Amino acid sequence: MSTSSHPILLAALDLDGTLLNSSGEVSPRTQKVLSEASDRGVVVIPATGRPLASLPPVVAKQPWVHYALTSNGAAVWNLGGDPLGCVYSRYANAAEHETSQPECIVRRCFPVEKAREVYEAFQGLPGGLNLFSDGRALRDTAQQRFFDERFARLAAVKGTEAIQPNDGRFTILRDQSEWMSRHAHEVEKFCMFFHSAKEAQQYLPRFTAIEGVEVVQGAPDNIEVTAAGVNKGESLLALADHLGIPREATLAVGDSENDRAMLEKAGVAAVMANGMEQIRKLADIVSENDNDHDGVAEIFARLGL
């Protein structure tokens, strides 16, 4: 990995701890910088571990958003001229919104038996599990209780993860196991949160021992699993190929372990000042400012975008 002399034509931005500040917002300065880069021909995309339904409206409403990389790379979407409508199309209460249908450019789900193996490994653990499928985040009522408690806890503590209420973006199932029995072939990603980082570390080896999967942590208290070869890096390059953009002209900006693959594969890797120490070691550029002080805008300015 080395700093590319090729002009950047495609920039992929992680959300939590990167594009979004601790209040879950995109600052006015960063909005301006990204819009100007887009006007100059740079394709700027959100690259997130979230499913399409959980792409924050504050991001979907940005004028530079036309594509989105979601579920740690299990899906890449063309959102056309109505990104917010495409996001709303994956809400549980989609009928209450004006919606548009996105085009899925990349979709890489689990093989059926592997999805069932991973799901079984999560059973009985003391956390809340989301299943991501076709852009939706699926929970049952038991899982929702955990996330309601987690939401209340995070709301009282400042952190880099932008919290989101259940305003329709989460689909509540009658029973998660029942859904898995019929839809295991449709799973993009498993995403479990625990009560603490220590608890997540305790159970992490259970998943890294499974063959044929990718395991990352998007936050210290979570574990995320996708199928083998499914990560933000592979999907960033797939979108670059789709758009006719060489790897050398791609930029990745992130802060945590679930950004590792795209930072390793992009032409230029930029890491936030607030990024994990082991992730900062991957960087061609480390911002001086964190996600609460326009670190992304700083990186774009330093690269002349």
At 4-52, the pLDDT tens digits run 567 999 999 999 999 999 999 999 999 999 999 999 999 999 999 999 9
Q: How far apart are CA 16 and CA 19, in angstroms?
A: 7
pLDDT band for 2, please (50, 70, 90 cuts). Answer: very low
Residue 258 or residue 11, greater confidence: 11
pTM beyond 0.85 = yes
61-90 pLDDT, tens digit per residue, is: 999 999 999 999 999 999 999 999 999 999
Q: How far apart are CA 163 and CA 128, in angstroms?
A: 15
Q: What domains, with CATH codes, occur in the chain? A: 10-108+231-303 (3.40.50.1000), 112-227 (3.30.1240.10)
182-219 pLDDT, tens digit per residue, is: 999 999 999 999 999 999 999 999 999 999 999 999 88
* CA-to-CA separations, 56 to 63, 137, 158, 224, in angstroms, rounded: 14, 13, 18, 19
51-70 b/e with 16+ CB inside 10 Å = b? bbbbbbebbbebebbbbbbb
SS3 call for 251: strand
147-164 pLDDT, tens digit per residue, is: 888 777 766 665 544 455
pLDDT at 1: 40
CB 225 within 8 A of CB 187: no
> If you average pLDDT over every residue of the chain, what do you get?
93
CB 37 within 8 A of CB 305: yes
Least confident of 164-173, 221-230, 285-294: 164-173
Q: How far apart are CA 91 and CA 235, in angstroms?
A: 24
SS3 call for 173: strand
